Amino acid sequence: QVQLVESRGGLVMAGGSLRLSCAASGRAFKRYAMGWFRQAPGNERECVAAIDWSGGSTQYAESVKGRFTISRDNDKNTVYLQMNSLKPDDTAVYYCAAANRLGTVVVGNEYNYWGQGTQVTVSS
pLDDT at 28: 76
pLDDT at 27: 75
Rounded mean pLDDT of 36-49?
96
Convert the pLDDT of each residue in 63-72 to its tens digit: 999 999 999 9
> Which stretches of the chain are assigned E, i.e. beta strand?
3-6, 10-13, 18-25, 33-39, 46-51, 58-60, 68-73, 78-83, 92-99, 113-114, 118-123
pLDDT at 30: 80
- What letter does residue 123 receive in the DSSP assignment? E
Backbone angles phi, psi at 106, to 5 degrees: -120, 0
Does residue 113 carry a pLDDT above 80?
A: yes
Does residue 26 carry a pLDDT above 90?
A: no
Average pLDDT of the chain to the nearest whole number:
95
Q: How confident is the model at residue 55 (pLDDT cuts 50, 70, 90)?
A: very high
